[in-house]
């Protein structure tokens, strides 16, 4: 088995690279351990709580006990399936804020500013929002749509934000992220439009792109150059040779694990597992970041929530309608309204995100609380806490040790308290008067800092946005793992292109920027000139220095 490029991981970035590299005439082999994404659990948007909790599709990782969260071990789902995490996620599409990428560039990721990445966000998408396309794409493989927002609660949420004095935005992925407005999703014609559907399936129709189901064990490195990938397939170990380069796109959890198994990482850690050091890169597995969130839940005065379908008969009805017509509630992820706000004056761009959902339920689909209700998922966007991904052993089949160190920075607590109090104010607006019966959680009595902190400690959950564990930076930066061309520093013929390379977590969900990384990395790999930087000017609140809203 040999190809010009061997890509490890058929996830968001890997699928995009398979598409672009094969489109350019190069031969590509994609190595993916997971299986097929066929079937309604993945393809039906309304069934999103299922694949994330199914061992067939998820690696089943959990964090180590988190000291600041009462020793809880938090679920860390990563897609083990064609399409990777884009096949098990909530399908929410957020690019991130323009200032996120300017921060990347300022921290050593030259060529990754907003002006540089916007043309790749445009190349990758076909936007169906129907507004101004100055900032949007109209002919890319990834279809971006909006839900019908037929439930009045979706409009109440946006109107309540306006009444509370916040901005309203027609398109948070366009010129103006800040504000309340419609949420966007990777859903097309009633189906989950994963990276597998958008990129991999078309790529596999070409004769020069092949998909192999196997477990990647390590990168084969000879005389300082990556020459292939050692895999286990059908119980046999073999090497898939790369004529040009090996590209790791195995997720921010599995990519650092693979780098370390290949001898690239902190020398002391590698030696402790008997692994020969090829390149001493202390940044491999460091800088782990994520978004935490809580669910602010409210009981509904009116029986208009999705709770009426929260029974076997209701779910069967929704599923049958979707299977027969591709329409109905099953064709939406039910995240149809959103908001990005600033938590305080002096903060130049949003640092709190909202997902609004017209049912009160946990992400894993359990415990619909108190009958009819609705909720906002809310959390800070730029926690200063940093964690690690380390090896448990040198066995490629052993799960890595994941330590997020959630809430380890004191600012995290202050930011989360603001989330709770600002959210209560929003749900207290006139627009919600016909709908809010009472607060289910945290609950009306949870008012003091200590009480709110206690709720966060017990109930904060990951938003499933891990990133940063092989960060991009200047070639002479000892903490960087890849240079601005995505080349692993200290090893030839090896690149990383997935959410591992984010220097700092972006504002919102990570599927969009992960696909963008795959798109942009493809041009770096092909040695093409990069797309011309955009001159489009993003909106920044003229009052950010003096006002919170």
Residues marked as binding for FAD? 81, 89-92
Distance CA 333, CA 296 (A): 19
Q: Is 189 exposed, middle or buried (0-12, 13-18, 19+ CB in 10 A)?
A: exposed
Of the residues 155, 459, 465, 524, only one is catalytic, namely 465
**CB 59 within 8 Å of CB 48:** no
DSSP 415-467: HHHHHHHHHHHHHTSGGGTTTEEEEEETTTT--SHHHHHHHHHHH-EE-S--B
Quick check: is 465 catalytic?
yes
Task: Give Cα separations from 363 to 25, 37, 295, 338, 484 (angstroms).
Answer: 42, 20, 9, 17, 36
Overall size of the chain counted in residues: 549
Binding residue numbers:
81, 89-92
> Three-class SS of residue 311?
coil
Angle between helices 511-526 and 114-124 (to 10 degrees): 100
Strand partners, 222: 225
Q: Which run of H or of E encompasses 297?
A: strand 292-300
Question: Hey, how many other C-beta atoms are within 10 angstroms of the C-beta on 514?
Answer: 31
The CA distance from 371 to 548, in Å, is 35
Which residues are catalytic, by number? 465
């Amino acid at each position: 088995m040999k190809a010009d490029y061997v890509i490890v991981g058929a996830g968001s970035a890997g699928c995009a690279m398979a598409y672009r590299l094969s489109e350019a005439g190069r031969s590509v082999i994609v190595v993916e351990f997971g299986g097929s994404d066929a079937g309604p659990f993945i393809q039906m948007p309304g069934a999103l709580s299922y694949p994330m909790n199914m061992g067939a599709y998820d690696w089943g990782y959990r964090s180590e006990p988190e000291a600041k969260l009462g020793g809880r071990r938090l679920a860390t789902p990563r897609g083990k399936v064609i399409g990777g995490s884009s096949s098990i996620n909530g399908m929410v599409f957020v690019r991130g804020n323009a200032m996120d990428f300017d921060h990347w560039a300022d921290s050593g990721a030259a060529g990754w500013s907003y002006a540089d990445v916007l043309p790749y966000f445009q190349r990758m998408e076909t936007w169906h929002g129907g507004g101004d396309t100055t900032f949007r794409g109209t002919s890319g493989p990834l279809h971006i749509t909006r839900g019908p927002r037929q439930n009045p609660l979706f409009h109440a949420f946006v109107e309540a934000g306006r009444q509370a004095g916040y901005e309203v935005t027609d398109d948070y992925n366009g010129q103006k992220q800040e504000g309340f407005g419609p949420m966007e999703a990777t859903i097309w014609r009633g189906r989950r439009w994963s990276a597998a559907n958008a990129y991999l399936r078309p790529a596999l129709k070409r004769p020069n792109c092949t998909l192999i189901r196997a477990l990647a064990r390590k990168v084969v490195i000879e005389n300082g150059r990556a020459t292939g990938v050692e895999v286990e397939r059908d119980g046999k170990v073999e090497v898939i040779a790369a004529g040009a380069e090996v590209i790791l796109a195995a997720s921010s959890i599995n990519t650092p694990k693979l780098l370390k198994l290949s001898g690239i990482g902190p020398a002391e850690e590698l030696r402790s597992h008997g692994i020969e050091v090829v390149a001493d890169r202390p940044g491999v597995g460091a800088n782990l970041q994520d978004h935490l969130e809580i669910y602010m839940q409210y009981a509904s005065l009116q029986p208009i929530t999705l709770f009426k379908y929260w029974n076997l008969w209701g779910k069967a009805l929704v599923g049958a309608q979707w299977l027969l017509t591709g329409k109905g509630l099953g064709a939406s992820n039910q995240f149809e309204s959103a908001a990005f706000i600033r938590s305080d004056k002096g903060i130049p761009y949003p640092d709190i995100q909202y997902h609004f959902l017209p049912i009160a339920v946990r992400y894993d689909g359990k415990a619909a609380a108190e009958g009819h209700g609705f909720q906002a998922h809310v959390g800070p966007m730029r926690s200063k806490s940093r964690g690690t991904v380390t090896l448990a052993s040198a066995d490629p089949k052993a799960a890595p040790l994941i330590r997020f160190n959630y809430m380890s920075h004191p600012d995290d607590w202050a930011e989360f308290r603001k989330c709770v109090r600002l959210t209560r104010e929003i749900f207290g607006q006139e627009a919600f008067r016909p709908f809010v019966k009472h607060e289910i959680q945290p609950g009306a009595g949870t008012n003091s800092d200590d009480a709110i902190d206690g709720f966060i400690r017990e109930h904060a959950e990951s938003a499933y946005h891990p990133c940063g564990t092989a960060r991009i930076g200047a070639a002479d930066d000892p903490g960087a793992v890849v240079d601005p061309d995505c080349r692993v520093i200290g090893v030839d013929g090896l690149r990383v292109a997935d959410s591992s390379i984010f220097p700092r977590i972006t504002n919102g969900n990570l599927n969009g920027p992960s696909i963008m990384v795959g798109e942009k990395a493809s041009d770096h790999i092909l040695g093409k000139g990069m797309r011309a930087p955009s001159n489009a000017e993003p909106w920044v609140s003229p009052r950010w220095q003096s006002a919170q809203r």
